[in-house]
Amino acid sequence: MDFLNAIVALLNFVIVPGLAYGAQLALGALGVTLIYGILRFSNFAHGDTMAFGTMATILATWGLQAAGFTFGWLPTALIALPVGIAVTALLLLGTDRLVYRFYRKRKAAPVILVIVSMGVMFIMNGIVRFIIGVEDINFADGARFVISAGDFKDMTGLDEGLAIKSTQAITLITAAIAVALLFWFLNRTRTGKSMRAFSDNEDLALLSGINPERVVAVTWIIVAALATTAGVLYGLDKSFKAFTYFQLLLPIFAAAIVGGLGNPLGAIAGGFVIAFSEVTVTYAWKKVLVYVMPEDLEPTGLVQLLSTDYKFAVSFAILIIVLLFKPTGLFKGQSV
């Protein structure tokens, strides 16, 4: 019985939140990795792209709510998501046309494009703050829990409850659908194949008649979809705040690099690696340990390895370890 309690506590505080956070990071890292693969630079504006997409979705959600639309027990934001994606795609295509294309044509060094993306980051951050402000915004509606802790306890008679928030379930399902669609697109469709060809060998792809501008445009649209979905899922699960999204940049990049930049499969794995290490290192293990340790060995402290404020340090440490020992990432990424 104690052992079951320990497992439930572990599920409730580590596995379920880790899975949801990992899925959000994976979606974000996929966007970063795609841009790196096709456009060959690290996009520092990605966190703010997520913020912009989420903002567009929130505005659409408010519009729907004002018009009296809701989505039953699901959050209204899910219906608004396509609107958010469309607006973000337009913004990214516009940015590409106005900003990035110029440097692409001149074959500017990647580091110049990184600095340019810094400028774009400033502007997007400014736009988001300008339109929606800097406060915390909670836009989740619908049912709060799939299973609440109390119900679970009644059902099983255990001391520990297992709460699964509906936003966590939605995150996993939506992320799974998005990833499935992405891989179907990359592996099965003509455009997807041309994208992979372009990423593997630009010159060969150009020789075989692939239109680079089309590949780039499709990439930006996919990135808009991924970034907006990631941002909305994160926002539903926690809350929306422009600055938090900027800070997500670090774990997202860590995930993409740990998995191997330019490798979509690696980005997903990296997302979960980063998420689980953040959660396990900053979790106070006392609650689990009291069930499995014999009584006289029970810990007195919280058994928390690091305080939650150091979660950045965790993604950073993993990043450094991977870079030192396996510079191309866990899955083979591009090493330009």
Partner 1 sequence: MSPAVKNTLLFAAMAGLIVITGLMQGWNLALTIVNMGLISAIMALGVNLQWGFAGLFNIGIMGFVALGGLGAVLISMPPTTDAWAAGGLRILTGLAFGAATIVAAVLVQMRMAKGRARNLATLLVLVIGFFLYRAVFDPAVMAVEAVTPAATGYLGGLNLPVLLSWPVGGLLAAGAAWVIGKTALGLRSDYLAIATLGIAEIIIAVLKNEDWLSRGVKNVIGVPRPVAYEIDLQADTDFIAGAAGFGLDPVTASTLYVKLSYGVLFTLVLIALLWLAQMALKSPWGRMMRAIRDNEVAAEAMGKDVKGRHLQIFILGSAICGIAGAMMTTLDGQLTPGTYQPLRFTFLIWVMVIVGGSGNNFGAVLGGMLIWWLWVMVEPMGLWIMSVITSGMADDSWLKAHLADSAAHMRLLTMGVILLLVLRFSPRGLIPER
Name the residues that contact partner 1, by CB under 8 A: 41-42, 99, 102, 110-112, 114-116, 118-127, 129-131, 133-134, 243, 246-247, 249-250, 253-254, 257, 305, 307, 309-310, 312-313, 315-316, 319-320, 323-324, 327, 335-336
Whether residue 140 contacts residue 70, with contact meaning beta carbons closer than 8 Å, is answered with no
Q: What whole-number distance in Å separates Cα of residue 98 and Cα of residue 52?
A: 18
Residue with smaller CB distance to partner 1, 138 or 304: 304
Q: What whole-number distance in Å separates Cα of residue 190 and Cα of residue 214?
A: 12
Q: Least distance in Å: CB of 293 to partner 1?
A: 16
Q: Least distance in Å: CB of 148 to partner 1?
A: 33
Pairing of strands 145-147, 164-165: antiparallel
Which residues are CB-contacts of 81 (< 8 A; sequence separation ≥ 6)? 57, 228, 229, 232
Residue with smaller CB distance to partner 1, 152 or 246: 246
Strands (E), the chain: 145-147, 164-165
CB hemisphere CA count around 66 (13 angstroms): 6
Residue with smaller CB distance to partner 1, 85 or 257: 257
Residue with smaller CB distance to partner 1, 40 or 193: 40
From 70, 239, 228, select the one nearest 138 (Cα to Cα). 239
Residue with smaller CB distance to partner 1, 175 or 248: 248
Q: Least distance in Å: CB of 186 to partner 1?
A: 23
Whether residue 276 contacts residue 22, with contact meaning beta carbons closer than 8 Å, is answered with yes
Q: Least distance in Å: CB of 99 to partner 1?
A: 6
Q: Least distance in Å: CB of 207 to partner 1?
A: 27
Q: Least distance in Å: CB of 295 to partner 1?
A: 21
Bridge partners (DSSP) of residue 284 are 304
Whether residue 303 contacts residue 286, with contact meaning beta carbons closer than 8 Å, is answered with yes
Q: What angle do CA 89, 27, 178 make, to 5 degrees?
A: 75
Residue with smaller CB distance to partner 1, 66 or 336: 336
Residue with smaller CB distance to partner 1, 139 or 246: 246
Residue with smaller CB distance to partner 1, 137 or 313: 313
Q: Least distance in Å: CB of 36 to partner 1?
A: 8
Kindly state the greatest CA–CA separation across the chain: 72
Residue with smaller CB distance to partner 1, 104 or 153: 104
Bridge partners (DSSP) of residue 74 are 71
* Distances, alpha carbon 158 to alpha carbons 10, 284, 287, 292, in Å: 14, 21, 14, 15
Which residues are CB-contacts of 296 (< 8 A; sequence separation ≥ 6)? none
CB hemisphere CA count around 54 (13 angstroms): 36
Q: Least distance in Å: CB of 327 to partner 1?
A: 7
Q: Least distance in Å: CB of 43 to partner 1?
A: 10
